Amino acid sequence: MKLPEPRCAGGMSLAQALYERRSIRAYAETPLTLGDAAQLLWSASGITSPEGFRTTPSAGATFPLETYLIAGAVDGLAAGVYRYDPAAHGLNRTAAGDIRADLAAACMNQSCVATCAAAILFGAVFERTTAKYGDMGNGFVLLEAGHAAQNVSLQAVALGLGAVAIGALDEQRLKSLAAMGDNEKPVYMMVFGKPNS
């Protein structure tokens, strides 16, 4: 499915978003809008040039990351796991149903994962980058995930959303929950919701 177009003008200044960024782990039961989910995905890996370059830099433009939206409560989107297609700025569903409880179990039972409205999970195909850079490419992939997650984190602040990075991931369980390809590994995740205040 096609997502709402990204909004690139107006909004909070970058310095303000940096100042306000904090890990937020308690969320209201309010769903995310589809527009906000689309904006978060675009900030992670949206295409911003005719050559296919993206919001996040990539070592040698090898683009090892795959970006998944895990939708629990997103208005206008059935609960499930969706792979983001940057070229189409759209989503392809890889798994159906609300997997937040299983997701939390795959992340050391962290309550913010169980109660988030949605999550963005980064999978990586390391070979895309190691084919060009050898072993050094393994580090490049993780650096790139950090760039993407920081984009998402600051975009969340600008949208008035709470977010926290989740590094405690059970690789095998997450891989299976997101129905990732054989050559792909989960590397990092961000979870979101309206702050509970």
List interacting residues with ligand FMN (CB under 6 A).
Answer: 22-23, 25, 110, 112, 164-168
What is the secondary structure of the chain as a DSSP string? Answer: -BPPPPP-SSSS-HHHHHHH--B---B-SPPBPHHHHHHHHHHHH-B-STT--BSS--GGG---EEEEEEESSBTTB-SEEEEEETTTTEEEEEEES--HHHHHHTTTT-HHHHH-SEEEEEEE-THHHHHHHTTHHHHHHHHHHHHHHHHHHHHHHHTT-EEEEE----HHHHHHHTT--TT-EEEEEEEEE-B--
Q: How far is the CB of 153 from ligand FMN (least distance, A)?
A: 8
Identify which of residues 180 and 191 has a Cβ nearer to ligand FMN in the complex: 191
Q: How far is the CB of 192 from ligand FMN (least distance, A)?
A: 13
Q: How far is the CB of 128 from ligand FMN (least distance, A)?
A: 22
Q: How far is the CB of 54 from ligand FMN (least distance, A)?
A: 21
Identify which of residues 12 and 165 has a Cβ nearer to ligand FMN in the complex: 165
Length of the chain in residues, anyone?
A: 197
Identify which of residues 60 and 160 has a Cβ nearer to ligand FMN in the complex: 160
Identify which of residues 19 and 53 has a Cβ nearer to ligand FMN in the complex: 19
Q: How far is the CB of 38 from ligand FMN (least distance, A)?
A: 24
Identify which of residues 160 and 167 has a Cβ nearer to ligand FMN in the complex: 167
